[in-house]
Amino acid sequence: MKNGKNVWKFSATKVTDFSFAVSDNFNWDAASVEVDKSTGRRVLTSAVYPDSTIHWENAAQYARATIKYMSEELPGVPYPYPHTTTFCNKKRGGGMETPMMANNGAPKDKGDLIGLIFHEISHSYFPFYMGTNERKYGWMDEGWATFFPGVVVDSLVPGYDYYKDLISDYEYFAGKELELPMMIPTFGLPFQSSGTASYTRPGIAYMELQKLLGNDLFKKTLQKYIDLWHEKHPIPYDFFFTFNNVTGEDLSWFWNPWFFDMGYPDLAVKEIGKTKNGYTAVISKVGTIPTAVKVTFTFADSSKQNVSKTPLVWKDGDIFHATVKSNKKLIKVELGSPYIPDANKKNNTKEY
């Protein structure tokens, strides 16, 4: 400009913090997406990045896909702000969120970048829209930001398998000495413990909760939690009690081991027996944490039968009987799936 000086004035309501970035040579891309069909409200998704930053040429579209998914699918609540800007700091990875903006690195892997963009934008809901205290209970925002991205990442990068990698990361740390309960305030956790307590373990706890309730009830309950508590600074018990109230169930048997207790997920094939019409496998919950169950019966002709159950089978005990009907010769029984956490796989197979 001729005067050599410009003054920019910004205003925003209901925000807890702010950030901005300045550059005279970065690219600025943008897209928009309708987030509320009843009103036609749209959200601007911007991406600001230097030339030749790998994968960032589509970052505005990745942000658009993120906001579309979160507005329509999960949590299924229209994005609460008018825009979002994703800024590239040129570092290798990682990011930091503020309302309507994120300062992100540039991972070499496309799936990692999409996951990073989604993760930071999702913080617009948790903690910003909700007003949760991320310094005290990191799992109330980082856990959701870890849980949400998988569907979008996998749809844009076939073969990436977001949730399989997430579970593998958790299994590596689960049950080790430094894994501490999520309900310990985050500011009191050792650095080596906070990643699992704030990110991977709660992210997978939400996955198992979704399996337990089913997609529709899980979504309905999550939306009710957001509707009741946004901008009201909910604490963990507001989350737990809302889910209990909406589902009409006392889910303490799920909350306690996942969020309050020391422990880890570990299922085992205890024994196999013959029944009148087939076979039964006794599955033991050796660890304290309830998870979904997948049991595979393999027969002499290489055919298989599967028995899959939600974590509900552990509500009233630590033993589950998986039964199949078959007159074929059984060879072995195997437990597990890449999408079910299990810290000890050595007890997952038994020959018959």
Question: In this predicted model, what pLDDT tens digit does every residue of 81-92 receive, in sequence order?
Answer: 999 999 999 888
Using alpha carbons only, what angle is made at residue 239 by residues 187 and 153, rounded to the nearest 5 degrees? Answer: 80
State the pLDDT confidence band at 102, using cuts at 50, 70 and 90: very high
- Distances in Å between the Cα of 67 and the Cα atoms of 33, 36, 48, 216 are 8, 11, 17, 20
- Distances in Å between the Cα of 280 and the Cα atoms of 268, 291, 322 are 14, 20, 5
Q: What is the average pLDDT score of the chain? A: 96
Q: Is the pLDDT of residue 4 over 80?
A: no
Please say whether the beta carbons of 238 and 136 come within 8 A: no
pLDDT at 13: 87
Written as six digits, the tokens of 176 are 């080790």
Written as six digits, the tokens of 171 are 């299994």
pLDDT at 289: 98
For tokens 């956790």, what's the residue? 189
Question: In this predicted model, what pLDDT tens digit does every residue of 112-137 receive, in sequence order?
Answer: 999 999 999 999 999 999 999 999 99
Look at the alpha carbons of 298, 304, 305, 307 in this order and tell me if their dihedral is positive or negative: positive
Distance CA 232, CA 234 (A): 6
Look at the alpha carbons of 62, 67, 68, 72 in this order and tell me if their dihedral is positive or negative: positive
Average pLDDT over residues 187-202: 97
Return the closest-CA partner of residue 320 out of 332, 335, 330.
335
Question: In this predicted model, what pLDDT tens digit does every residue of 219-278 receive, in sequence order?
Answer: 999 999 999 999 999 999 999 999 999 999 999 999 999 999 999 999 999 999 999 999
State the pLDDT confidence band at 22, using cuts at 50, 70 and 90: confident
What is the secondary structure of 339-350 as a DSSP string? TS--S-GGGSEE
27-129 belongs to CATH 1.10.287.110? no
Q: Is the pLDDT of residue 312 over 80?
A: yes
State the pLDDT confidence band at 216, using cuts at 50, 70 and 90: very high
Q: Is the pLDDT of residue 24 over 60?
A: yes
93-112 CB burial, b ≥16 within 10 A, e <16: eebebbbbbbbbbbbeebbb
171-208 CB burial, b ≥16 within 10 A, e <16: bebbbeeebbbbeeebeebeeebbbbbbbbbbbbbbbb
Give the count of beta carbons closer than 10 Å to the beta carbon of residue 77. Answer: 19
Written as six digits, the tokens of 192 are 């080596």
pLDDT at 305: 98
Q: What percent of the chain has pLDDT over 70?
A: 99
State the pLDDT confidence band at 80, using cuts at 50, 70 and 90: very high
* Higher pLDDT, residue 164 or 22: 164
Instruction: Annotate 137-192 with three-state secondary structure.
Output: CHHHCHHHHHHCCHHHHHHHCCCCCHHHHHHHHHHHHCCCCCCCCCCCCHHHCCHH
Asked which of 10-19, 71-80, 147-156, 296-305 is least confident by mean pLDDT, the reply is 10-19
pLDDT at 16: 85
Q: Is the pLDDT of residue 108 over 80?
A: yes
Question: In this predicted model, what pLDDT tens digit does every residue of 38-53 receive, in sequence order?
Answer: 999 999 999 999 998 9
pLDDT at 1: 55
Asked which of 22-26, 172-176, 189-193 is least confident by mean pLDDT, the reply is 22-26
Q: Is the pLDDT of residue 286 over 80?
A: yes
pLDDT at 177: 95
Residues 6+ apart with CB under 8 A from 140: 126, 127, 130, 132, 133, 134, 234, 236, 239
Average pLDDT over residues 168-189: 97
pLDDT at 186: 97
Q: Residue 279: what residue type?
A: Y
